[in-house]
Amino acid sequence: MTSEGYCGVCVQAAAAAPPPPGHAMVDGRPARLRSPVGLGRAAAALLGVVIATDVYALWAGTEMQDVLNDLIIGRYGADIEREADNADTLYANAGTVQTVALFATCVVFLVWFHRARVNAEVFEPHGHRKKRGWTVWGWFVPVVNLWFPRRIAIDIWDASGTRTATPDGMMPLDPAAERGPHRLVNVWWTLWVANTFAGRWAARSYTRAEEADEIKAAVANMMFVDALDIAAAVLAIVFVLRLTRMQDTKARTGPAPAQQAVPFPAP
């Protein structure tokens, strides 16, 4: 008998019982279904803000280019100096709002991504190739951040789709055979990685530029990165909204591992 009055057999039976619907144990850690809808919409909205700041930066870059063209052809005077100061201030402000928007978006996106991963563990407890902790830290550790987040995203995508686990919660002998296409994830991730490297290259060229023609070329590089960032952000929005819808649909209509799926619990 335990101190609470339960017999040892009852305690062992309770410990061996399967988790309740909407819950799972993965690597000794509990996983519980929680709706990603609110966070998904917030992440998508903030990605839209990132796009807006990139458009603003493109406009500021165009203004900077116009002034630099005047300086390159030899136009000088009080008016040109004033225009140059205004363009420089405008471009600096664009960089500031881009940084603020990106930081806020990263925070919300990572919270959503982590929640989507936990939900995916409930859908498929044994279908994930990376530990849960990499869902966040995988974005920040050098080198591995080039492929860990993509691999985690694909595992979440597959677990949230129509593929189901066997009655004992295990995946088929060849899970890869049942994996659906990952074109959206692959294209989004390719643009993300390309934007990361291009951003570092453009920032380095802008920092080193001194003469007007060098600054003009560096601003053109930064504008290319802004355009690339817009494309990556658009696909990120599609990825977030589609995966959020997949998880919401599966929680409401599809089977959970070894149990009948249940709707997301009320917050």
pLDDT at res. 123 = 92
| 266 occurs within a structural domain | no
Instruction: Identify the residue with better confidence: 29 or 76.
Output: 76
Q: Which residues pair with 29 in a beta bridge?
A: 26
DSSP structure string for 68-89:
HHHHHTT--SHHHHHHHHHHHH
pLDDT at res. 126 = 83
| 10 occurs within a structural domain | no
Contact at 8 Å (CB) between 153 and 189? Answer: yes
* Rounded distance between C-alpha atoms, residue 224 and residue 178, angstroms: 38
The arithmetic mean of pLDDT across residues 217-224, rounded, is 96
The arithmetic mean of pLDDT across residues 248-261, rounded, is 66
Comparing CA positions, the residue from 72, 120, 98 lying closest to residue 229 is 98
| 30 occurs within a structural domain | no
Does the pLDDT at position 101 exceed 90? yes
Classify 137 in phi/psi space as left (phi over 0), alpha (psi -120 to 50) or beta. Answer: alpha
3-state secondary structure (DSSP) of residue 255: coil
Contact at 8 Å (CB) between 180 and 158? Answer: yes
pLDDT at res. 256 = 47
Q: What is the pLDDT of residues 55-77, one digit of tens each?
A: 999 999 999 999 999 988 888 88
Highest mean pLDDT range out of 5-19, 100-114, 122-136? 100-114
Query: CA 73 from chain center: how many Å?
Result: 44
Beta-strand pair 23-26/29-32: antiparallel
Least confident of 102-116, 146-160, 190-204, 242-256: 242-256
Does the pLDDT at position 28 exceed 80? no
| 57 occurs within a structural domain | yes
DSSP structure string for 5-67:
S--HHHHHHHHHSPPPTTEEEETTEEEE----HHHHHHHHHHHHHHHHHHHHHHHHHHHHHHH
Does the pLDDT at position 252 exceed 90? no
* pTM of the complete model beyond 0.75: yes
| 7 occurs within a structural domain | no
pLDDT at res. 257 = 45
| 112 occurs within a structural domain | yes
* Rounded distance between C-alpha atoms, residue 228 and residue 245, angstroms: 26
| 167 occurs within a structural domain | yes
Mean pLDDT of the chain: 84
Does the pLDDT at position 225 exceed 70? yes
pLDDT at res. 46 = 98
| 241 occurs within a structural domain | yes
pLDDT at res. 10 = 45
Range of the domain at 123: 37-253
Q: What is the pLDDT of residues 143-184, one digit of tens each?
A: 999 999 999 999 999 999 875 544 444 444 344 444 557 999
Give me 155's structure tokens.
Answer: 């595992």
* Rounded distance between C-alpha atoms, residue 87 and residue 70, angstroms: 12
Does the pLDDT at position 193 exceed 50? yes
CA angle, 87 then 90 then 93, to 5°: 150
Our count of domains for the chain comes to 1
* Rounded distance between C-alpha atoms, residue 94 and residue 149, angstroms: 28
Instruction: Identify the residue with better confidence: 170 or 48.
Output: 48
Contact at 8 Å (CB) between 71 and 84? Answer: yes
